């Protein structure tokens, strides 16, 4: 049996793959950032005297990030790149607060 293999067109627009990479990176970043805020919420709740205002701020930020992740337009590549850059910095800052 002689099977014909098909390969993706190598001349395809490279920006198409950039969209997928950008979307994947964006999703992973936002998921990781939301988890980090969730961890901060849990850490705050486990304290003997939790700071309710801080807990509420972490919870609100967690929800904001999830909402942004779900509502961000898929074809907004340039805007997504800016968000990735900004939120990467926020994630670095938040990770320093985690044990």
Return averaged pLDDT per consecutive 10 residues of the chain, 99 residues in all: 45 55 89 97 96 97 96 87 94 95
pLDDT value of position 77? 82
C-beta of residue 50 within 8 angstroms of C-beta of residue 11: no
Q: Name, in order, each residue with C-beta under 8 angstroms of 45's C-beta and a sequence gap of 6 or more.
A: 55
Give the pTM. 0.78
Cα 5 from Cα 62, distance rounded (Å): 46
C-beta of residue 42 within 8 angstroms of C-beta of residue 14: no
Q: Token digits for 75? A: 């074809």
């Amino acid at each position: 049996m002689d099977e014909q293999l098909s390969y993706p067109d190598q001349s395809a627009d490279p920006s198409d793959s950039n969209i997928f990479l950008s979307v994947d990176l964006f999703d992973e970043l936002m998921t990781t950032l939301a988890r980090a805020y969730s961890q901060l919420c849990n850490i705050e709740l486990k304290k003997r005297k939790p700071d309710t205002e801080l807990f509420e701020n972490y919870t609100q930020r967690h929800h904001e990030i999830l909402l942004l992740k779900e509502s961000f337009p898929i074809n907004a590549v340039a805007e997504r790149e800016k968000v990735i850059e900004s939120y990467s910095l926020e994630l670095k800052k938040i990770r320093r607060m985690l044990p």
